[in-house]
Amino acid sequence: MKMSKSGSIIIGLVSISDRAYDGTYVDKGIPALTEWLSSAISTPYWFETRLIPDEKEQIEKTLLELVEEDRCSLILTTGGTGPGRRDVTPQATLAVGTKEMPGFAEQMRQISLHFVPTAVLSRQVAVIREDPDHAALILNLPGRPEAIRQTLEGVRDPDGTLRAPGIFTAIPYCIDLIGGPRMETHEAVSKTWRPDAGGQKNT
C-alpha cells in the first residue's frame, strides 16, 4: 500500500557496498528489502532509498539525513556487517545511536544460525536515534537477499509453520514506543505483537 509520503510511515533503506556503488555488480539489497516490506506492511508507507560505499563517515551522514531531514521512523541497512576491514556499518550505526537495542541483534544472529554456522561472525547492531522532536529505529540486516527475508520473517518449517519469529514482529510496537506512526502488517507474512490491557495480544 505504498502511497504519498504525506501520511505514511517513512522507511529508510540503505544498501552499503563498495562494489554495488561503483557499478561492479547490481545492488540486490534494496530490491530484496522493498519486495519483502511491500508484502508485509498493510498500512501506507514510503521508502527513501540510498546506495552508498563502505565508508564510515558516509554511512553516518546518510543515517542522520534519513532521520533528521527525511523523518524516517525506521531505517534498515544491508551490508557491511562482517569482520572484514571494509565492514564498518556497525561502527557507523553505533556512532549515530542514542540507545542500543541489543535484543534485535541477538535475535538476528539466532535466526541466521538456523541456516549458516558463520552467523556468529555477524556484527549487526540495532539502535534508536532520538532527536528533540523525532526518533527512529535503525537496524543492520545481512547482505544476502535470502538472509534479509529470513531475518525479517523468521524460521519456518517445510509446511510453513513459524518455528522462530523474525525481528519484524517486534518492530511496529517499538516504533509505537518511540512516538512513530502506527504500522500494521499482513499476518500471513509477519504477525505484529502488541500488548493490551488484558496482558498479551497479537494484532
In a domain, 110, yes or no: yes
What pLDDT sits at residue 3?
55
In a domain, 89, yes or no: yes
* Structural domain that includes position 164: 9-202
Question: CA end-to-end span of the chain, whole Å?
Answer: 18
- Mean pLDDT estimate for the chain: 92
In a domain, 1, yes or no: no
In a domain, 143, yes or no: yes
State the average pLDDT over residues 19-42: 96
Sequence-distant (6+) residues with CB within 8 A of 7 are 44
What pLDDT sits at residue 4?
59
What pLDDT sits at residue 197?
46
In a domain, 75, yes or no: yes
d(CA 178, CA 130): 8
Q: Say if residues 73 and 180 touch (Cβ distance below 8 Å).
A: yes
pLDDT (tens digit per residue) in 85-112: 999 999 999 999 999 999 999 999 999 9
Q: How many domains does the chain have?
A: 1
Q: Say if residues 151 and 139 touch (Cβ distance below 8 Å).
A: no
In a domain, 87, yes or no: yes
If residue 109 lies in a helix (H) or strand (E), which one and from where to where?
Answer: helix 102-112
If residue 128 lies in a helix (H) or strand (E), which one and from where to where?
Answer: strand 126-131
d(CA 163, CA 141): 20
In a domain, 2, yes or no: no
- CATH classification of the domain holding 139: 3.40.980.10
pLDDT (tens digit per residue) in 119-163: 999 999 999 999 999 999 999 999 999 999 999 999 988 887 778
What pLDDT sits at residue 162?
79
In a domain, 4, yes or no: no
pTM for the model: 0.93
